Structure 1
Amino acid sequence: MIIEEVEKLLNDYTRWLKDKTILKQVGKDWVEITTPHLDRHNDCLQIYARKEGNGFVLTDDGYIITDLVNSGCPLESPKRQELLKTTLAGFGVQIDRDQLVVHATPDNFSLKKHNIIQAMLAVNDLFFLASPYVASLFVEDVTNWLELSDIRYTPNVKFTGKSGYDHMFNFVIPKSRKQPERIVQALSNPKKDAAEALVFKWLDTRETRAADSQLFAFLNDSNVSVSHSVIDALKNYALEPVLWSQREQAKERLAA
């Protein structure tokens, strides 16, 4: 893919973010920011900003954690708490009484806004299937499979993209004599919006990695089938979609 086409895609994405973002004054101190990013209910994610000294505080007002708990996904277990804190730490996001919070300056406001939105999406996706009907988290399943398959990896790696935004990936498998660097992302809810967000992360990040780096997207098809349009969209941008039910087909390439 030529660089001009990638540049246009990134510019189109940035323009879409700006055009679809809506601001609303809430009370005296807060501004509600409605973004075009969708949660698992297909509702637009919202964050709230308030002036604090010479900077700003941004919060989700407790929406993500409260929604998960109300949907039957308790987060009290030490393992889930550890996973939650590790995920948030990767984006520089704190948790305060169930609220996701970041502090920003005028200079890094856009970056911090990006980080808290990405953290909301990541936490939402991590626990999407963690309900009374599902025994484990999908990312845990992928972790266990990598370890049982003797595939070495580094978890929760953050890369800075060409845009200057940070992007978190679940696993990175280092380069070997036989294979290039392989980045692995687990999508527990592999719908169109999740695929588009992953494509942007990869396009923004790819130029900062080795030219032959590859990204494998593990798609959870345990309970529902994955749309062919999602698979085709990932392939069109040089990602490697791997259905969870067919994971053994990728084992040799990841283990080498």
Structure 2
Amino acid sequence: MSASGCNVITGARQSKLDEVLNGFGIDRNEDELYIVCNDDRLFSAINMLMQGMATVDDLFFTARDNVRSYFSEDVGRWFEKHGVRNLPNILMRGQSGFETKFDFVIPKTPNTAPERFIKTVSTPSEQSVVNALFGWGDIKNARGDDSAFYLFLNKRNCGDGNIDESLLRACHNYDVRPVVWGQDEQSVLKELAA
């Protein structure tokens, strides 16, 4: 991990790293991440390891001095401030049999709002959006039509402060609502709080 140019094994980042790894069932031995499993769980374990590695990679970007808090925590505080009830850090098994971790799930409100799944991406990239879209596609097929997905994208960690339009188009192509943090979150507040 230190090869990435960031020493996350100190202070608050140590706690966050441990939280991320525990959430995916990943063990760590110094710079090595791994999951111990039996043969019948191998593919699911590989999937969780890859999701966890992508999340840890996203954590490395928080090493920049200008980032004072973690993006998913910012979104969680925003939900709390606006009374958006949610369940944090939920694992869901999709049609493939693989599990996908969502940062938040907002339960369905009968006759008002569908079940809403939320992922946060601190440093938006093509790969992070593709990973989120795959996870959503897998879950959506298993959950049915009465569910929606919101992908919160942090524009502060983009070089020019803007999200690449191709990432937003990809979201729309999969009926995913991209929410550009610092720009769009107020526009989805009513539907998330319903």
More helix as a share of residues: 2
Above 0.5 in TM-score? yes
Higher relative contact order (Cα pairs below 8 Å, separated by 6+ residues): 2
Kindly tell me the number of residue pairs found equivalent between the two proteins: 189
Partner amino acid, structure 2, of 1:189: T
The question of whether the paired residues in 1 share the 8 Å contact of 2:103 and 2:118 is answered with: yes
* 1:254 aligned onto 2:192: yes
Partner amino acid, structure 2, of 1:238: D
Aligned pairs for 1:150-169 within 5 A? 150-169=83-102
User: Structure 1 residue aligned with 2:79, among 129, 146, 155?
Assistant: 146
Aligned pairs for 1:66-85 within 5 A? 66-67=2-3, 70-71=5-6, 74-78=8-12, 80-85=13-18
Instruction: Give the alignment's TM-score, normalised by structure 2.
Output: 0.88
Partner amino acid, structure 1, of 2:147: S
RMSD: 1.8
Aligned pairs for 1:1-256 within 5 A? 65-67=1-3, 70-71=5-6, 74-78=8-12, 80-177=13-110, 178-223=112-157, 224-245=161-182, 246-256=184-194
Instruction: Name structure 2 gaps, 5 residues minimum.
Output: none
Distance verdict in 2 for CA 1:130–1:147, change over 3 Å? farther
Equivalent-residue separation in structure 1 for 2:38 and 2:106 (angstroms): 35
Equivalent-residue separation in structure 2 for 1:130 and 1:151 (angstroms): 29
Say which SS state the counterpart of residue 243 (structure 1) adopts: strand
Equivalent-residue separation in structure 2 for 1:152 and 1:67 (angstroms): 39
Instruction: Name structure 1 gaps, 5 residues minimum.
Output: 1-64
Identity %: 33
Structure number with greater Rg is 1
Equivalent-residue separation in structure 2 for 1:125 and 1:105 (angstroms): 28
More strand as a share of residues: 1
The question of whether the paired residues in 2 share the 8 Å contact of 1:155 and 1:172 is answered with: yes
Distance verdict in 2 for CA 1:139–1:75, change over 3 Å? farther
Shift of 1:105: 2.6
Map Cα deviations across residues 221-256 of structure 1 (whole Å, 9 max, x no partner): 124210111001011001110111221111111111
Equivalent-residue separation in structure 1 for 2:109 and 2:75 (angstroms): 21
Instruction: Give the alignment's TM-score, normalised by structure 1.
Output: 0.68
Say which SS state the counterpart of residue 189 (structure 1) adopts: coil
Structure 1 runs of 4+ aligned residues shifted over 3 Å read 80-83
